Structure 1
Amino acid sequence: MNKVWWLALAVVILAGCSSNSSKPPSRYHIDQDVGPDREVDLSHVPDAVPKVEPRTRAGNKNPYTVLGKTYYLIEDESSYKERGNASWYGKKFHGHKTSNGETYDMYAMTAAHKTLPIPSYVRVTHLKNGRSVVVRVNDRGPFHQGRIIDLSYAAAQRLGISKTGTGPVEVEIIVPGDTPPPPLKPDDRPASHADGFYLQVGAFSSAASAKRLRDKVASSMNSRVFISEFNAAKPLYRVRIGPLTDEQEVNRVREQLPAVGVYNSHLVKD
């Protein structure tokens, strides 16, 4: 009997050791994101009020890489407008730091975006019910395929997507005073890229036309898309992708272009 008792005790001890040796818990207290514990009416929460704010390095690392993909910040967001799916994030991240070091509050009118400078202000409109909100972008994300913005729980509830999880939206920039702060240029691109190749996908006499194409191409590209201005008697605005380090990368980018309606491009080297 004593032998059986000691054997049972050993099994219990080993089980406890096995449990304690598992990987440490995440800094987030819950695994699956959820909303508040009980129903909360947030219809009274006011929109974010756009104002001119300084751009700092906090939250604006450019470029940055997440899950193997590299993202470049939009250099001039004054004409940004995009349609796609919005999602939301809540209790899992509530109280933790956002990308620029602020504390995430799921009851405030904020959002996460992959490439807009931080902070930015955008109007988000639900394409099915017509509801709209103004939110302040202070975080990075969402990094799920097919989603263009991650809203706070409060913003999602006001739009009517807090229960569905996602919804089709239009996101449009709001620039306080009509003039955005100077953009933060890419600061940590590998030196080997400096002499790389560029794909030119368009050239325009109109800056607005060049911006529209740049934004359209950038919406589906992991590589940097920018406008190179050629100053002559009449300015020329050239939309380019790069730098691209080798032929394999050039071919990869070219294969993605038809998806955004671009069928002609040529290689240049600056």
Structure 2
Amino acid sequence: MRNNNYSSRCLIISFFAISILQACSSSPTNSRYNQTQDSAPTFKYDAINAEEPTPTYVEYNVWTSRPYEIRGQYYTPMQTGKGYQANGNASWYGQKFHGHKTANGEVFDMFELTAAHKTLPLPSFVRVTNKQNNKTIVVRVNDRGPFHDNRIIDLSYAAAKKLDFRDNGVAPVHIEVIHVDESGLVTIGNKTQTQDKKNASVMVASAPSLPKVAKTILPVKKPNADPSAYERASGLFVQVMAMADGDKAKDLAKGIGDLLQQPTHIPKIENLYRLRIGPLENEQSATKVIKDLKNIGFDKAFAIDLSPK
């Protein structure tokens, strides 16, 4: 019975997702964003628990590498980012774009360490160093932009917080692509891993641990999260359900996240995977999410406030 319920819900999610996509295709383009100006989230957010992505080998993807045009300017994406490094200004984007599709079809989550670049392959892994304070993080490039002459990369809100330039809006940075060959050889900027052992500040998947390469883009592998980190996460969430099967939880999270255009989290607490949506802006947003979930059969969803007391 449990498997039948799970399958039924997956079918319901698929049906509603198709309906929403059809509705979106007929909507005017100027209604895509609810905000006219970008902003930070409306609640206090600490990026300390934001996890850096682990670079892995990624197959070249023709679909995300097609030339494109923005405001009369034509861009041709690179076939490989190997050896790429640059200096310039970084900006950040957040609430306005949160929950909307990125250039490679993912959903933008301003609380993940991601970035946008005009021509790097999607996805790419980039080490970003804030030249004002020498803070460094690794981000995953999954979007296009920024379309300003004086900026080379657009970082997520969480990434800007980690690099400590959220309040300034723009910061001078040095960026280096972390490229992993199919054999597992790593190049950071214009140096291979063996040349850069002393200075490399990122952990990458070593050759023996890399999976057999598929003919598709491989998902980013993240280390297992500490459940206590999720318990300390700040913000308002809606918990959809809890289950023992992690794979089913991930499948449902992807379907629900795409359908509702909201970020999802699956902390494992007390041997159960807790499927949660959020962080959300406010109680009104949580109420709407709960209503949407009930419409597709998840009538036991409830709000959970993990904000500091």
TM-score, scaled relative to structure 2: 0.49
1:148 equivalent to 2:152? Answer yes
- Cα distance 1:75–1:24, how it changes in 2: closer, same or farther (>3 A)? closer
- Contact 2:65/2:76 (8 A) holds in 1: no
Cα displacement string for residues 208-250 of structure 1 (whole angstroms, at most 9, x for unaligned residues): 9xxxxxxxxxxxxxxxxxxxxxxxxxxxxxxxxxxxxxxxxxx
1:114-263 to 2 correspondence within 5 Å?
A: 114-176=118-180, 177-178=184-185
Query: What is the CA RMSD across the aligned residues, in angstroms?
Result: 1.8
Matched positions, count: 158
Instruction: Tell me whether 1:71 sits opposite 2:78 in the alignment.
Output: no
- Take 1:54 and 1:76, find their aligned partners in 2: how far apart are those partners? 10
* 1:83-117 deviation per Cα after TM superposition (whole angstroms, max 9, x unaligned): 00000110100000000100000000110000100
Query: Given the alignment of the two structures, is residue 109 of structure 1 paired with residue 116 of structure 2, yes or no?
Result: no
Q: % of aligned pairs identical?
A: 47
Cα contact 1:59–1:139 (8 A) shared by 2 = no
Larger radius of gyration: 1
CA distance in 2, matches of 1:108, 1:133: 12
SS at match of 1:105: coil
Please report how far the alpha carbon of residue 25 of structure 1 lies from its aligned counterpart in structure 2 after TM superposition. 5.0
Cα displacement (A) at 1:24: 8.1
Q: What is residue 55 of structure 1 aligned with on the other side?
A: 60
The separation in 1 between residues aligned to 2:121 and 2:185, in whole angstroms, is 15
> Which stretches in structure 1 are left out of the alignment for 5+ residues?
1-22, 181-207, 209-270
SS of the aligned residue for 1:43 comes to helix
Post-superposition CA distance 1:4-38 (Å, at most 9, x none): xxxxxxxxxxxxxxxxxxx9852101110001102
Check the 8 A contact 1:48/1:109 in 2, yes or no. Answer: yes
**Contact persistence 1:59–1:138 (CA under 8 A):** no
TM-score by length of 1: 0.56
Q: Give distance in 1, aligned partners of 2:157 and 2:167.
A: 10
Matched, 1:81 2:71: no
Unaligned runs of 5+ in 2: 1-27, 191-309
